[in-house]
Amino acid sequence: MSSTQPLAGYVVVEIGHSVAAPYAGLVLAELGAEVIKVENPDGGDSARGWGPPFIGDMGPHFSAFNRNKASIAVDLGDPDQRDALKALIADRADVVICNLRAGSADKLGLGSEALTAAKPALVYCELGAFGAGGPLSHKPGYDPLMQAYCGVMSVTGESAERPPVRVGVSMVDMGAGLWSAIGILASLLARKQSGKGCRVETSLFETAVAWVATPMARHLMGGGPQLPQGSGAAGIVPYQAFRTQTGWLVIGAGNDKLFAALCKVMGRPELAADPRFAKNGDRVVNQEELLPIIKAYAAGHESQALSRILDEASIPNAPVQTIAQLAEDDHARQLGLVQKADGRETVGLPIRFDRERPAYRSAAPSLGEHTGRIFAPYLAAAKR
């Protein structure tokens, strides 16, 4: 078994769509599991249509999160096809990932209770919107709704007076997928000892609340209103983007030693001993007096030149890059994060085993590409 494919031999059935469940399936597929993606024959996963751009029948979301998987087209409204899917799960699956709308899987006989009763060794991951057990459990949900409801938007952007801003990536969806993968891996490990599967539960809501743990802690500790910080971070100064002559550069002098080094670089060593700025807490309180000094210094330099100066003093810094710049970034390329297969490039899993990254084995499948090979025998048996 390859060190990058520790899940080789495991079979995962993904009854999911959009981002969260597919991202969980992606992680497991990258680690070597055979992931069988169940899609509606009428259009498939809705993420296929999220574009342009498009390659064949898929947009960027689908292409990014469904590589290394097989696709089978299953009409869950057809009793024979449902029975065939249940038979496939009972026969082959170690794991089921499901993010159908609350209650839908149970009505179809594909919920955790029915499937784990038929196969006690099955690990069933239920990835919901608001999670089970609360007054909102029946509601559907998407990433921006959770960023709104759980306060992420309230601490994102430039100021409370500006319109709400969504974090520009699907951080809640992808985070829920990661928690799902973690729960599944833990359950598979426990199953080796007990022989029994487990019902793993997580949701977009729970994930979003977990992401705001720090501002929640600040609030619960009496820290007052939690407000947007622009490019900065509440409670740390200086720790933000500064405009230079040629762009923006983030400077992260996140402790007193680094701040003293920054003061020396700026030719203002006395600032490190100034009681207004000597400790991080003092700098946070007095940031409106300190930040203009750093802004003026940064404005006198080009980004690359200032970055070199800061690097020589071991002060963390980074330019604000565009996605186009990142796609050609030499560091990302040399780490092998941008991978290619079947003529398509996408981002690989951000983990390595013995210095080797899991491979991009196959591009995201076309709708129902593997129905004949994987599903047809079970469907034929169900119709007898």
Helix (H) or strand (E) holding 260: helix 256-265
Peptide bond into 53 cis (omega under 30): yes
User: What's the alpha-carbon Rg for the chain, to the nearest Å?
Assistant: 25
What are the strands of the beta sheet with 247-252, ordered from one edge?
239-244, 247-252, 317-319
Indicate the pairing of strand 344-347 with strand 123-128. Answer: unpaired
Candidates 302, 317, 306, 313; CA nearest to 264 is 313
Q: Taking each helix axis from N to C terminus, what angle separates 204-211 and 171-194, rounded to the nearest 10 degrees?
A: 110
Q: Give the type of residue at 331.
A: H
Say how far apart CA 284 and CA 268 lie, in whole Å: 19
> From the candidates 173, 256, 274, 330, which is the catalytic residue?
173
Residue 351 φ then ψ, to 5°: -150, 145
Q: Give the type of residue at 131.
A: G
**Residue 233 CB partners (closer than 8 Å, separation 6+):** 239, 240
Say how far apart CA 193 and CA 298 lie, in whole Å: 58
Residue 173 annotated to the active site: yes
User: 328: burial class by Cβ within 10 Å (0-12, 13-18, 19+)?
Assistant: exposed
Helix (H) or strand (E) holding 247: strand 247-252
For the chain, the 3-state helix, strand and coil shares in percent, each to the nearest 5, are 40, 15, 40
Indicate the pairing of strand 338-341 with strand 344-347. Answer: antiparallel
Q: Give the type of residue at 30.
A: E
- Sign of the Cα pseudo-torsion (106, 110, 111, 115, in order): positive
Say how far apart CA 148 and CA 141 lie, in whole Å: 11
What is the set of active-site residues?
173
